[in-house]
Amino acid sequence: AKILPARFGPMLSLMPPAAEGAGADEIVAPMPGQITRILVKVGDEVQAGQDVAIIEAMKMENILTSEARGTVTSIEVGIGDNLNVDDLILSLDLADDQSAS
């Protein structure tokens, strides 16, 4: 899940590639914050772009979305949990057409 201000759009091509870490099969905290809502449960099918959780940071709610289609295999956090950057929120088993890319 990536959350960037709209003004960063033109600069994205200039940014270095993401460091090794979470792939499309993991949703991680993009910033320190607190989980306020989990919008899916284990076993749910999710689509690319679907909202999966909400994290509150600096009094603002940020919606986290899935980057790929798949099935939720685990949820590692609960409502009210405080997270650091890159803490795992949930894992997906990617759909067959997603894992080959």
User: What are the residue boundaries of the structural domains of the chain, listed by start?
Assistant: 6-99
Residue with tokens 């890159």: 86
Residue with tokens 């909202």: 51
6-99: CATH topology:
OB fold (Dihydrolipoamide Acetyltransferase, E2P) (2.40.50)
The per-residue pLDDT for range 43-75, each reduced to its tens digit, is: 999 999 999 999 999 889 999 999 889 999 999
Q: pLDDT at residue 99 above 90?
A: no
Tokens representing 73 are 């295999």
**Residue 93 pLDDT class (50, 70, 90 cuts):** very high
> How far apart are alpha carbons 5 and 92 in whole angstroms?
26
Burial of 26 (0-12, 13-18, 19+ CB in 10 A): middle
Q: How far is CA 34 from the centre of its chain?
A: 14
What secondary structure letter does DSSP report for 3?
A: -
pLDDT of amino acid 20: 46
Three-class DSSP category at 68: coil
pLDDT of amino acid 3: 62
